[in-house]
Amino acid sequence: MEKRYFFGEICLLALGVMLFFAAGCEDNAVPDTLNEADPVGALTITPSSASIGLDETYAVFTARGGTPPYSWTISDTSLGSIPQTDASTITYTRSGTTLGANTITVIDRNSWAATAVINQTTNSPSGS
């Protein structure tokens, strides 16, 4: 028995082949950042740590890499503050003579984060 293909069956076959090949294509409109490195480069804070003695009042930190805009947070506002939280460079200001360690965190537009630690001591970093 001879089988004849009709126009409709050929169109369905062609559509199936097109869908098979199209299934491997990706839409690049929305980046997939889950479990991938930040495509612009690693987000870091410079310096990664600082010591502030009683004779000092502030330390400057800069976000590098990642994707701006940046957002900064601080772990313990009783130890210090960051007046501007949306810039690439911020100034941490010590609150009084309170001693301890504080952590600042910067988060970029893709939700990647980096941290730096500030040690508030009684001595200046040089030991003088």
The ranges assigned to domains in the chain are 44-120
Eight-state DSSP code of residue 121? -
| 8 A C-beta contact, residue 114 and residue 92 | no
Backbone angles phi, psi at 121, to 5 degrees: -120, 175
Fold of 44-120: Immunoglobulin-like (2.60.40)
Token pair of 13 as six digits: 């076959």
Strand positions, DSSP E, the chain: 44-46, 49-52, 58-64, 71-74, 80-81, 89-94, 100-107, 113-120
Query: Is the pTM here over 0.85, yes or no?
Result: no
| 8 A C-beta contact, residue 95 and residue 26 | no
C-beta neighbour count of 43 within 10 angstroms: 19
Token pair of 6 as six digits: 């009709």
Q: What is the pLDDT along the chain (128 residues), one digit of tens a residue?
A: 556 655 556 555 565 655 555 555 544 444 444 545 555 689 999 999 999 999 899 999 999 999 999 999 999 999 999 988 889 999 999 998 989 999 999 999 999 999 999 999 987 555 44
Q: Which residues of 90-118 are buried (b: 16+ CB within 10 A; e: fewer)?
A: bebebeeeeeeebebebbbeeebebebeb
Residue with tokens 């130890």: 79
Q: How confident is the model at residue 127, as a pLDDT? A: 44
